[in-house]
Amino acid sequence: MADADLSSAASSWKRYYGAGGSVGFARRVVLKVGSSTLQGVMADGSSYLDAFVDAVSAMRERGHEVAIVTSGAVACGMQRLGFSERPKELARVQALAAVGQADLMGRYGQSFLRHKIQSAQILLTHEDIARRHHFLSLRHTLGELVDLGVIPIVNENDTVATEELRFGDNDRLAAAFATVFEADLVILLSDIPCLYDRDPRVDANAQPVREVAKIDLEVRQMAGVAGTGVGTGGMVSKIQAAEIAVEAGIPLVIALGADPTIVGRIVDGAPEGTLFHPQKRVDRRRHWIGFISKVNGVIRVDAGAMRALRERPASLLPIGVTAVSGHFQPGDGVEIRGPEGELVGRGLVGYDDETLEAIRGLRSDAVADKLGKGLIDPVIHRNDLVLT
């Protein structure tokens, strides 16, 4: 949608967020601010972080419950130790995060105290919400923090997060966290003002896209790549974050964060940035399976099993499994792929990888004999399955 169509966009914003100061649907909001944005300085010389905290505090006064997902630990460490570019070595990045995280939280804490607001640090890896009981425990903790009037400040635990434990960037962390926080809105603030139909850095005729009703291949093809030497995100990660949020029924906005007061205008209904419309809210557990759970392996199925899964609510049985890869235990998340490698869905598996390898392709009676039991469990029960 081009800028000429802002009146239509404004009506959509008001539909989700209310207007004229009304909290509307955005009672609980997750704000994500990126490293490149945090480096900015306001025109009057005051620090960006203080101005951002002022905007958050104003939202609080109007009845919003806010959580912040912040980048900046590595950037703070770089600044403190005199690095001009982000290192490529993981261990060096983790060391900078360790130095910078305390500094970052100290700055937030002191800034919020100007408004007599307490804040709390929450450091997460993917593992912390990829396990269902961890997910629920975090939700309970967040509820207590909100009841106490404390603002959660969330960051990926870069000091300990290895590749297999990472979210990858704070855009996706913000969207995943929003499902734990039970948010009504996610706002991603960055140096990217909105989604464009083409890359504006190489095409002067690129037009802003003000609303996305559904994320499809065309929308994904509009995405670019990470653009700065400080942050790790880009439009690709923002589209992926939007998909996580909207499939949970949570609208998401990408907006330029240079002026942090934009967050107040967005929740008031101003058509800033790009709005991703929420889809019909799905069962929370199924959304967790489909988008949040950690994938520990891949199960390949034959054409008959793929057809049964797609055409009727069927469980996956051993006879339909043709190959097993990865290492997993019962209850772990796995991908299901068809004969040509096409993604069929994700689910929680009922067997460990070694047992499944031993029984794949067998009929139920043969599985029962091999395992020495009368009744067998499905490989993935239909209630633990989310189709693509």
Instruction: For the chain, list the domains and their CATH numbers.
Output: 3-286 (3.40.1160.10), 294-387 (2.30.130.10)
**Residue keyed to tokens 């998909």:** 243
Q: What is the pLDDT of residue 16?
A: 57
Mark 220-230 as b/e (b = at least 16 C-beta within 10 Å): eebbbeeebeb
Cβ contacts of 372 within 8 Å, gap of 6 or more: none
From the list 215, 294, 295, the residue with the least C-alpha distance to 247 is: 215
Q: What is the pLDDT of residue 161?
A: 58
% of the chain surpassing 70 pLDDT: 86
Task: Copy the structure tokens of residue 297.
Answer: 């392996």
Strands 274-276 and 28-33: unpaired
What residues form DSSP beta bridges with 32?
69, 188
Long-range contacts: 53-57, Cβ < 8 Å, 24+? 53/108, 53/111, 53/112, 53/114, 53/115, 54/115, 54/260, 55/260, 55/261, 55/262, 55/263, 55/264, 56/31, 56/151, 56/263, 57/112, 57/115, 57/117
Q: What is the pLDDT of residue 222?
A: 84
Q: What is the pLDDT of residues 142-187, one digit of tens each?
A: 999 999 999 999 998 877 755 544 566 889 999 999 999 999 999 9
- Amino acid of residue 96: L
Please check the confidence at residue 230 and state whether its pLDDT lies above 70: no
d(CA 293, CA 286): 10
Please check the confidence at residue 7 and state whether its pLDDT lies above 80: no
Please check the confidence at residue 43 and state whether its pLDDT lies above 70: no
d(CA 168, CA 177): 14
